[in-house]
Amino acid sequence: MKLNLALVKGDGIGPEIVDSTLRVLDKVAEKYGHQITCTELLAGGCAIDELGEPLPQATVDRCLESDSVLLGAVGGPKWDTLPGHLRPERALLGLRKALGLYANIRPAKLYPALRGRCPLRIEDTFDLVIVRELTGGIYFGERGRREGPNGQEAYDTECYSVMEIERIGRVAFETARKRRKKVTSIDKANVLESSRLWRETMHRLAAEYPDVEYSDMLVDNAAMQLVRNPAQFDVIVTSNMFGDILSDEASQLTGSIGMLPSASLGEGSRGMYEPIHGSAPDIAGRGIANPTATILSAAMMLRYSFGLAAEADAIEDAVNKALEAGYMTCDIGGQLTTDEMTDKILGFI
């Protein structure tokens, strides 16, 4: 199979972890007889520095021509004083919108080898997936500033349509069917009208999936339950803002944010795959970043965009074996450099 990939290495540690991931993809391509073509593109802070904007149109066009996009990380303190429309993070929102990516899939898994790194006292591991709606809600609603009775005030509007809720719900239910067949929908229906529509729509959708266990949970309770007993969850589905917050909470339960991949998907096979961590400018260029989350993101890409389950399994199994053998970077209690960790994972493929 020929894989035509767009590479957005981005800022900070982005280039380092993407380069490590390409080594893994090249090894898998060689073993399984695939051909990978990569085009490196600018987005984020590096694009601002070179071209004066976070997301050049040429990058968008090339991503639309690719089979999938692999992204490192964008942003950093260097660009924090820029106005909102010029911030590096606008590149992520712009790419998601241009590619029609409305579903963010974020696994959170505690590997047995990392149980001691979990900040909780739990007797078992856990393996959950958060399905986050990505292109609606308060991040994309009407916003602005105005004069109010007490002076200037700001507003951001949460708005969801039935269509948006249904399509993200179907992603969650279909994902659950391939796992442990359990969906928990997170909302704030006791307060928000948008959440009441969310819950009503999810209930109608759940009737179409009688083989999947379904339940509702208020977001404040969900935040507590993730700490109390994360193993109770299989697939969590929720809105853009709630998913943003809860997925970061879940990431900390795994021992390191450097372990967690993500996939952003739309209607077709094209997706954008990236680690959920940031650009970590404080360690950029030191060769100590954990490449595992990006490598696992590439495994998700092979599985979701190309249907290459055996190849994805090979990468995920190699990561697990490397951890079980005690090979770790400093963020998870080890001493290996980025390149050394990559070498160990390659050795198990």
CA 300 to chain centre: 10
- Give residues with Cβ within 8 angstroms of 209, minimum separation 6: 173, 176, 177, 183
Dist CA 93 CA 86 (whole Å): 12
* Catalytic choice (19, 26, 127, 248): 248
Does 188 qualify as catalytic in the annotation? yes
Q: Is 248 a catalytic residue?
A: yes
235 beta partners:
129, 183
The one catalytic residue in 109, 244, 273, 304 is 244
Q: Residue 155 forms beta bridges with which residues?
A: 144
Catalytic residue among 220, 282, 313, 317: 220
Strand partners, 185: 216, 237
One of 139, 181, 339, 343 is an active-site residue; which one? 139
Is residue 320 within 8 Å of residue 343, measured between CB atoms? no
d(CA 36, CA 325): 30
Q: Is 187 a catalytic residue?
A: no
Report the alpha-carbon distance of residue 236 to residue 139 in Å, rounded. 20
- Percent of the chain as helix, strand, coil, to the nearest 5: 45, 20, 30
DSSP states of 184-222 as a string?
Answer: EEEE-TTT-HHHHHHHHHHHHHHTT-TTSEEEEEEHHHH
For the question of residue 27 being annotated catalytic, the response is no
Rounded to an integer, what distance in angstroms lies between the CA atom of residue 335 and that of residue 252? 20
Cα(331)–Cα(126) distance, integer angstroms: 20
Q: Return the sign of the alpha-carbon dihedral for residues 64, 165, 73, 262.
A: negative
Q: Where are the alpha helices (DSSP H) in 207-291?
A: 219-228, 240-252
Beta strands in 55-160 (DSSP E): 68-73, 103-109, 127-133, 143-148, 151-156
139 given a catalytic annotation: yes
Q: Which entry of 27, 188, 234, 327 is annotated as an active-site residue?
A: 188
Catalytic residues: 139, 188, 220, 244, 248
